[in-house]
Chain A
Amino acid sequence: MNFQFQDLGEMLLMGGHGVYVWAAVLVSLATLAWLVVSPILQHKQALRQIGLNLTREELRKQNGNKDI
Chain B
Amino acid sequence: MNWTWFYRMGSPLWFYQSTSRWLPLLSLITLALLTAGLAWGLGFAPEDAKQGNSFRIIYLHVPASFLALAGYFLMAIAGAIGLIWKMKLSYIVMKCAAPIGAALTFLALFTGAVWGKPTWGSYWVWDARITSMLILLFLYFGVLALQYAFNSQEAGNKASAVLALVGTVNIPIIYKSVDWWFTLHQPSTIKLTSAPSMHPDMFQPLLVMILGFYCFYALALILAVRVEILKRESKTAWVRELVEQLGRQKMGVKQ
Contacts and interface: CB of A to CB of B under 8 A. Distances in A.
Given A14-B56, A20-B115, A20-B117, A35 B243 contact: no
Contact of B219 (A11, A24, A36): A36
Interface in A10-64: 11, 14-18, 20-21, 23-25, 27-28, 31-32, 34-36, 39-40, 42-43, 46-47, 49-51, 53-54
Interface stretch (B100-108, B156-164, B191-199): B100-108
Contacts of A1: 40, 44, 201
Nearest to A55: B247
Interface residues of B, number: 45
B43 A11 contact: yes
Nearest to B205: A1
A4 interface: yes
A50 B21 CA distance: 22
A55 to B, nearest CB: 9
B53 A25 contact: no
Interface stretch (B57-65, B75-83, B140-148, B176-184): B57-65
B128 interface: no
B134 to A, nearest CB: 17
B57 A24 contact: yes
A2 interface: yes
**Interface residue SS majority, chain A:** helix
B197 to A, nearest CB: 20
Given A3-B43, A17-B52, A21-B56, A47 B243 contact: yes
A52 to B, nearest CB: 10
B224 interface: yes
B111 A24 contact: yes
Interface of A: 1-5, 11, 14-18, 20-21, 23-25, 27-28, 31-32, 34-36, 39-40, 42-43, 46-47, 49-51, 53-54
25 contacts: A1-B44, A2-B44, A3-B43, A4-B43, A4-B46, A4-B47, A14-B53, A14-B54, A16-B52, A17-B54, A17-B118, A20-B114, A24-B111, A27-B107, A28-B64, A31-B103, A32-B34, A35-B103, A36-B216, A36-B220, A50-B234, A50-B239, A50-B240, A51-B243, A53-B234
